[in-house]
């Protein structure tokens, strides 16, 4: 399989992606737990059908010590007893923020209030930014049909 467009070789895409990566650095440097960040990236990528991002974030999470059980259960987090209440709140916010077009009111007050019980303002800002950013990355990769499977943990720094 070959991508429709070489985003890594395109000057325009490269310039845009540098800004995306910079935004990602600000989020990864936040106090939002790294494990929560990976779980959110994985869940949004599952919803959006982004194989490239799933490949990357499951491998990065595993390399950082995430357990296979938790990685396998992200898609069914509501039924799984391996996630904390805070992680569940982040996953719910990620789902609603990713499926924003499916709900007339966008993200529910209940989902927001639940997340706000577990995360302070800066962590919420990081979480909201992360949800928006992973959705943008997913859309680029799905649009260009970026192949998945060859990613090596830490490949992009």
Q: Nearest 5 degrees, angle CA 13-CA 16-CA 21?
A: 115
* pLDDT one-digit tens code per residue, 20-65: 999 999 999 999 999 999 999 999 999 999 999 999 999 999 999 9
Alpha carbon distance 49, 124 (integer Å)? 25
State the DSSP string of 37-95.
Answer: HHHHHHHHHHHHT-HHHHHHHHHHHHHTT--HHHHHHGGGTTT-SSS-HHHHHHHHHHH
* Two structure tokens written together for 59: 């491998």
Whether 49 and 145 have beta carbons less than 8 Å apart is answered as no
Written as tens digits, the pLDDT of the chain (157 aa) is 799 999 989 999 999 999 999 999 999 999 999 999 999 999 999 999 999 999 999 999 999 999 999 999 999 999 999 999 999 999 999 999 999 988 777 899 999 999 999 999 999 999 999 999 999 999 999 999 999 999 999 888 7
Give the global pTM: 0.95
Q: What pLDDT is attached to residue 105?
A: 79
* Two structure tokens written together for 32: 């939002």
Helix then strand then coil, in percent of the chain rounded to 5, is 70, 0, 30
Q: What pLDDT is attached to residue 102?
A: 85
Task: Spell out the domains of the chain, with CATH numbers in brackets.
Answer: 32-144 (1.20.1290.10)
């Amino acid at each position: 399989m070959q991508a429709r467009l070489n985003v890594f070789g395109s000057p325009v895409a490269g310039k845009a992606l540098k800004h995306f990566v910079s935004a990602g650095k600000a989020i990864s440097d936040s106090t939002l737990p790294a494990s929560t960040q990976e779980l959110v990236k994985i869940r949004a990528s599952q919803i959006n059908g982004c194989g490239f991002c799933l490949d990357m974030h499951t491998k990065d999470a595993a390399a950082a010590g995430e357990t296979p059980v938790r990685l396998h259960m992200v898609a069914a987090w509501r039924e799984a007893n391996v996630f904390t209440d805070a992680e569940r709140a982040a996953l719910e916010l990620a789902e609603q923020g990713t499926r924003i077009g499916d709900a007339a009111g966008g993200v529910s007050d209940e989902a927001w209030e639940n997340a706000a019980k577990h995360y302070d303002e800066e962590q919420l800002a990081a979480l909201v930014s992360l949800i928006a950013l992973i959705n943008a990355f997913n859309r680029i990769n799905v649009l260009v049909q970026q192949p998945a499977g060859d990613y090596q943990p830490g490949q992009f720094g």
